[in-house]
């Protein structure tokens, strides 16, 4: 069973399901598995670690793209060039102005996906020539601005694109974990979905199995947007970005007490590192979105893709074999 949309037609894939380029978690194994299942896998190039990106590109076994945290490419443009030399299926830019890097991506003939969190960012993505806009609501795991919900942001951006640049594709991101989310996203005007948390819980994901099992026990109420872990890890994220993680004792202790955290940073970092080493997730961070409340099993990437598509098609059979348009 396949779902045909403008996204599947554009990328030559079977299903309108794209793996979110989760930093480190979306490695060659997971990205290749999603692509092999008929979706589009994206490597989590994240902070532009050259050695990691090079290793993963050498290990992929299917056509995949690569994502980067845009502001980390400043001074690391050679890592983007490294990815472009491998003729990736797409380059995904998020969390910053894509303008400095869009020309070299377009010159390489590689599709550009820009993740946005509001209408202003969507307009900027259109201005620089994005081929795909990923509209991410605040429900998503990891970093984001967190001010808009997927349910309202996606149709607003879909309408904007339809009226100003109808050739551009739209992905819905944030809280999509099953076929209901996929069907709803298509109904809202998206051409496909960008999925993170559900694939975080895939068998192929480069994440601790202990972390996965820990997360299966919580619901969507158990997540929170915070800055604590960026401070502890020394990640100088620009405002207004915050990261959604699971609530735990460590977050509860320091959230809204960041000034105090800065005063006790060495102690807090020691506690954090000990928690990571011991896989103690009352201290270590677990980066997932609100959709974790719908995840109760660790499955293969292929099973996740196929069940998502089958459920969406059952909800609305007109999606099967059809090419959606705005």
Report the relative pairing of strands 132-136 and 64-69 from DSSP bridges. unpaired
pLDDT at 238 over 60: yes
Candidates 287, 225, 231, 224; CA nearest to 258 is: 231
- 19 is written with which tokens? 């793996």
Q: What's the pLDDT band for 322 if we cut at 50, 70, 90?
A: low
Percent of all residues in the chain with a pLDDT value above 90, rounded to a whole number: 93
- Arithmetic mean of pLDDT, 139-168: 95
With tokens 């996965």, the residue in question is 212
> Residue 324 has what pLDDT?
47
pLDDT tens digit sequence for 90-117: 999 999 999 999 999 999 999 999 999 9
- 146 is written with which tokens? 């967190």
- Arithmetic mean of pLDDT, 34-61: 96
pLDDT at 321 over 80: no
How far is the C-alpha of 93 from the C-alpha of 157, rounded, in Å?
17
Ramachandran assignment for 96, one of left (phi > 0), alpha (psi -120 to 50 degrees), beta (any other): left
- Ranking 115-119, 145-149, 271-275, 307-311 by mean pLDDT, the lowest is 145-149
> Residue 319 has what pLDDT?
66
Q: What's the pLDDT band for 18 if we cut at 50, 70, 90?
A: very high
Is 7 strand, coil or helix? helix
CB 176 within 8 A of CB 291: yes
pLDDT tens digit sequence for 186-205: 999 999 999 999 999 999 99
pLDDT at 320 over 80: no
Out of 3.20.20.70, 3.60.15.10, 3.40.50.2300, 1.10.3210.10, select the CATH number for domain 6-206+297-315. Answer: 3.20.20.70
> Residue 325 has what pLDDT?
46
Predicted structure pTM score: 0.95
b/e map 160-198, b = 16+ CB within 10 Å? bbeeebeebbbbbbbbbbbbebbbbbbbbbbbbbbbbbb
Question: How do the domains of the chain map onto residue ranges?
Answer: 6-206+297-315, 209-278
- Arithmetic mean of pLDDT, 200-211: 97
Percent of all residues in the chain with a pLDDT value above 70, rounded to a whole number: 98
């Amino acid at each position: 069973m396949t779902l045909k949309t403008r996204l599947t037609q554009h990328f030559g894939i079977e299903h309108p399901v794209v793996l979110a380029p989760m930093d480190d978690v979306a490695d060659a194994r997971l990205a290749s598995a999603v692509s092999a299942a008929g979706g589009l896998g994206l490597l989590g190039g994240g902070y532009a670690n050259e050695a990691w990106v090079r290793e993963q590109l050498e290990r992929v076994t299917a056509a995949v793209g690569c994502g980067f945290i845009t502001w980390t490419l400043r001074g690391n443009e050679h890592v983007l060039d490294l990815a472009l030399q491998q003729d990736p299926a797409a380059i995904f830019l998020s969390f910053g102005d894509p303008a400095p890097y869009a020309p070299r991506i377009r010159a390489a003939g590689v599709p550009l996906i820009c993740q946005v969190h509001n209408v202003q960012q969507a307009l900027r993505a259109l201005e620089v020539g994005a081929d795909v806009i990923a509209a991410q609501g605040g429900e998503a795991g990891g970093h984001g601005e967190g001010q808009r919900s997927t349910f309202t942001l996606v149709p607003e951006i879909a309408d904007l694109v339809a009226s100003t640049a109808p050739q551009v594709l739209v992905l819905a991101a944030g809280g999509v974990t099953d076929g209901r989310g996929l069907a709803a996203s298509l109904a809202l005007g998206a051409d496909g979905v960008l999925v993170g948390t559900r694939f975080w819980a895939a068998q192929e994901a480069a994440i601790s199995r202990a972390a996965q099992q820990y997360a299966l026990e919580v619901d969507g109420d158990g997540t929170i947007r915070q800055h604590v872990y960026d401070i502890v890890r020394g990640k100088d994220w620009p405002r207004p970005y915050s990261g959604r993680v699971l609530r735990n004792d460590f977050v509860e202790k320091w959230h809204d007490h960041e000034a105090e955290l800065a005063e006790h940073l060495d102690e807090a970092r020691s506690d954090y590192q000990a928690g990571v080493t011991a896989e103690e997730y009352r201290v270590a961070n677990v980066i997932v979105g609100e959709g974790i409340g719908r995840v109760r099993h660790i499955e293969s990437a292929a099973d996740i893709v196929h069940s998502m598509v089958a459920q969406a098609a059952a909800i609305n059979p007109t999606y099967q074999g059809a090419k959606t348009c705005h």
